[in-house]
Amino acid sequence: MSDGRGPKPKNMFEIMTSECRFVHLRIKGGILNHMMKRFISCFSPCVLPALVSLLLSVSLQAQDIPTDPAVISAGEALFNGNCKTCHRVKTKLIGPALAGVETRVPSVKWVFDWVRNPAKVIASGDEYANKIYGEYNKSQMTAFSSYKDEQILSILAYVKAEAAKVEAAPVAAAGGAAGGGSAVPTAYLDTILVGMIIILVLLVIILALIVNALRRFLNQRDLSEEDREVVNSPITFASVSRSPGFIFLVIFIVGTITFKSVIDGLYSIGVQRNYQPKQPIAFSHKIHAGQYEIECKYCHTGAMKGKQANIPSPNMCMNCHSQIKEGTNTGAGEIAKIYAAVGFDPMTSTYTGVTKPIEWVRIHNLPDLAYFNHSQHVNVAGVVCQTCHGPIEEMDVVKQYSVLTMGWCIDCHRKTDVNTKGNAYYDKLVELHSTAGKKAMKVEDIGGLECAKCHY
């Protein structure tokens, strides 16, 4: 867009103002519709302005937006999982800011239709739909055909609740990433270290004093010439280095270090921790997952349902990048690679049909003999992505955060409680486990360390 060849884009201000105007107009239209339907014969046009707010609330009360906290939190989950990619409550992203949406659309019923099948609403010639469609450069919202009325309502409830919140003062929160600060302060550790060094030095001094005292004592005794020589022989480098104890110590230390490094080296074969290859597209999780807080599972669709979390296909990138044509870090260069892959011409916003798959470099490579299923961990156990993948939302370039060795898996299976809440599959196991003892049921207690759970 910056090369000036294409049509001049609207700047943000223009978009915002047109949005406002549009909303304003829409409210009037909506009221007029209601007027026509119900009240036109009863009221004279002069009372119309006074009825505006009243009618609006009446029409919405028919499909009251719930305020129940449970519904709001359900809505929040849905919003974060699906809507947040394009919509924010108070700011405009790909799509409009949703705050106050309930007041500007024709009806709640309209929202239901729109969410389930926007194309149909647009095709039906709906005025508001076509207006907003035109407003957003004819980019269509993804259809969520499976959503039920109550689900959409819960999202609206969340939006409403969120919009009502007064902007809280930014809390100076600490990093809070997975695997944060240690429990013991560093200063405390330093003190202990210094104290121990002092004790050791004192010990050496005491030993030297004892040796001196002993020598003096022996010199005062009547000793043979040989003995005297032994007692007074100076401690030289040669005498120390030839002593069996010293030789043993050196061999022992060298041997131990060699042994340890060989073992460590062998154990690291095939372990690719911190593997951070260059990817064909400089995609930044820091921007997408961190800054824009896009839910991981929005793109990694398989994580909840199958073995693979799935690297998103570029058509999924296009959900947003059909609109966002310049990136934060890299400008248009990297996004152009997506367009090349899906065969999209950003100038004309059309698809050419010439596609070229993107060859990402696999970072997390489990050996073929190990079976891992994302849905077991993400969906059933409710493990968050960061547990294994680390602070992915802070990575510009993704690296392998965990070692992904069998010991690492086993360790977690030993420590982790089974997420049995609300899962009837585990009922019998929980019952049997609780009769056997009071300890929490760990993964290992239900066969989580068995070979054929991962190897077959």
Partner 1 sequence: MGNTNKTYWKGLEQLKNDPAYIKNADKEFVNLGVEEDPGHSRRDFLKMMGFSVAAVSLAACETPIRKAIPYVNKPVDVDPGIPNYYASSYINGGDYCSIVVKTREGRPIKIEGNALSSVSGGGTSAQVEASVLSLYDNYRLRGPKIGDKDEQWENIDKEVMSKLGEIAAKGGQIRIVSNTILSPSTLATIEKFKAKYPTTQHVQYDQVSYYGMMKANEESFGSAFIPSYDFSKASIIVSFGADFLGTWLSPTEFTKQYAATRKIDEEHREMSRHYQFESNLSLTGANADYRTPLRPSQSGLAVIQLYNLIAAKAGKSTIDGGLENVANLDKAAEDLWANRGKSVVVSRSNNKSVQTVINGINAMLGNYGSTILPNMAVNFRKGNDEAMSAFIEDASGGKIDGVIFYNCNPVYDHVAGAKLEAALKSVALTVATNYTKDETSSAVNYKTPDHHYLESWNDFEPKKNFYSLSQPAITPIFKSRQAQESFLVWAGEKNVDYFSIVKDNWRSWYYAKNGGGMNFESWWDKCLYDGVLEPGAADAAAASFRGDLAAAAAGIASRYKAGNTGLELSIYESYAVGNGSQANNPLLQELPDPITKVVWDHPVTVSQKDAAALGFTNDGESNTQFGTLTAGGKSVSVPVLIQPGQAIGTIGISLGYGRTKVGTVAENLGVNAYALMDGNSLAVYEGVSLTKTDKDFQLAQTQTHQTYMGRESVIQESVLSEFKKNPAAGRDFPKVSKWSEKVDPATLSLWKGHDYNNHHWGMSIDLNTCTGCGSCIVACNVENNVAMVGKDEVIRRREMHWLRIDRYYSSDGKHGDYQALEKAAENPEVVFQPMLCQHCNNAPCETVCPVAATTHSTEGLNQMTYNRCIGTRYCANNCPYKVRRFNWFKYHDNRQFYQANPAMNTDLGRMVLNPEVTVRSRGVMEKCSFCVQRIQSGKLAAKRERRPLKDGEVITACQAACSSGAIVFGDMNDPNSEITKLLKIERDEKRPNGIDKKIGNPRAYRVLEEIGVKPNIFYLTKIRNKDEAKAEA
- Residue among 26 and 413 whose Cβ is closer to partner 1: 413
Min separation Cβ 122 and partner 1, Å: 21
Backbone angles phi, psi at 280, to 5 degrees: -60, -25
User: Which of 221/362 has CB closer to partner 1?
Assistant: 362
Element at 344 (helix H, strand E): strand 344-345
- Of 301, 319, 323, 416, which one interacts with partner 1 (CB under 8 A)? 301
| Distance separating alpha carbons of residues 12 and 18, to the nearest angstrom | 10
Supply the minimum distance, in Å, between the C-beta of residue 352 and partner 1. Answer: 12
Q: How far is the CB of 451 from partner 1 (least distance, A)?
A: 4
Q: How far is the CB of 205 from partner 1 (least distance, A)?
A: 50
Write down the least CB distance from residue 287 to partner 1, Å: 20
Give the list of residues 6+ apart from residue 156 with CB closer than 8 angstroms, or none.
65, 75, 101, 102, 108, 111
Determine if 314 is a binding residue for partner 1 (CB under 8 A): yes
- Picking from 413, 188, 399, the residue whose alpha carbon sits closest to that of residue 285 is 399
**Binding status of residue 307 toward partner 1 by CB under 8 A:** yes
Cβ closest to partner 1, residue 49 vs residue 422: 422
Looking at the Cβ atoms of 89 and 317, the one nearer to partner 1 is 317
Question: Rounded CA gap, 339 and 321, in Å?
Answer: 9
Burial class (CB in 10 A: 0-12, 13-18, 19+), 152: buried
Using the minimum distance from each CB to partner 1, give the nearer residue, 8 or 421. 421
Contacts with partner 1 by CB under 8 A: the residue count is 57
Of 126 and 445, which CB lies nearer to partner 1 in the complex structure? 445
CA distance 341 to 357: 6
The tokens of 377 are what?
Answer: 């961990």
Task: Give least dist CB 141 to partner 1, A.
Answer: 17
> Between residues 40 and 436, which has the closer beta carbon with respect to partner 1?
436
| CA-wise closest residue to 300 among 290, 285, 286, 287 | 285
User: Is residue 72 a contact partner of residue 158, using CB atoms and an 8 Å limit?
Assistant: yes
Minimum CB distance to partner 1, residue 400 (Å): 11
Taking the complex as a whole, how short is the minimal distance between the CB of residue 369 and partner 1, in angstroms? 4
Which residue's CB is nearer to partner 1, number 55 or number 363? 363
Token pair, residue 266, equals 């062998």
Within 406-435, the residues that bind partner 1 by CB under 8 A are: 422-429, 432-433
Task: Find the binding residues for partner 1 in span 353-392 (CB under 8 A).
Answer: 355-362, 365, 367-369, 371, 373, 375-376, 379-380
Stretch that binds partner 1, among 168-176, 226-234, 249-257, 301-309 (CB under 8 A): 301-309
Stretch 126-145 residues interacting with partner 1 (CB under 8 A):
none
By CB under 8 A, is residue 306 in contact with partner 1? yes
Using DSSP's 3-state secondary structure scheme, residue 174 falls into coil
Supply the minimum distance, in Å, between the C-beta of residue 289 and partner 1: 18
Q: How far is the CB of 419 from partner 1 (least distance, A)?
A: 10
DSSP-derived pairing of the beta strands 344-345 and 350-351: antiparallel
Query: Is-contact 390 402, C-beta < 8 A?
Result: yes
Distances from the Cα of 430 to the Cαs of 417, 426, 434, 436, 440, in angstroms? 11, 6, 6, 10, 9
Burial 187-215 (b: 16+ CB within 10 A, else e): eeeeeeeeeeeeeeeeeeeeeeeeeeeee
Give whichever of 98 and 446 is closer to partner 1, judged by the CB atom: 446
Binding site for partner 1 (CB under 8 A): 269-270, 272, 275, 277, 301-302, 305-308, 310-316, 341-343, 355-362, 365, 367-369, 371, 373, 375-376, 379-380, 422-429, 432-433, 446-447, 450-453, 455-456
